[in-house]
Amino acid sequence: MIRRRWYSNKILLFIVSITICGLLIALSSVGFLSPIENLVGLPLLWANGFLNQIAISSSEGITDFAQLRNLRARNAALEEALARFQTELVELREIENDYKRLTELLDYRDSRTSQQFLTADVIGVDQSGQRRSIVINRGSRDGVTNGMPVVTGQGLVGRVVNVASTFSRVLLITDPTSAVSVRVQNSRVEGSIIGQLSGSLLLTFIPLDAELNEGDLIITSGVGGNFPADIAIGQVNSVRQFQFELFQEAQVRSLIDFDTLEFVLVITSFEPVDLNVFEEAEGTN
Query: Per-block average pLDDT, block size 10, for the chain (285 residues)?
Result: 55 69 61 57 61 64 69 77 67 63 65 80 82 92 94 92 94 93 92 89 90 91 89 91 81 89 90 64 57
H helices then E strands: how many in the chain?
3, 12
Distance from C-alpha of 91 to C-alpha of 80, rounded to nearest angstrom: 17
The dotted CATH code for 117-271 is 2.40.10.350
pLDDT at residue 198, as a whole number: 81
What pLDDT is recorded for position 170? 95
- Candidates 256, 276, 266; CA nearest to 160 is 266
What is the predicted pLDDT for the residue at 149?
94
Q: What is the pLDDT of residue 111?
A: 64
Domain boundaries, the chain: 31-111, 117-271
**Interatomic CA distance for residues 97 and 18, integer angstroms:** 97
| Cα–Cα distance, 241 to 204 (Å, whole number) | 11
149 half-sphere exposure, CB direction, 13 A CA radius:
25
| N-to-C CA span, the chain | 163
pLDDT at residue number 34: 58
Q: What is the pLDDT of residue 64?
A: 63
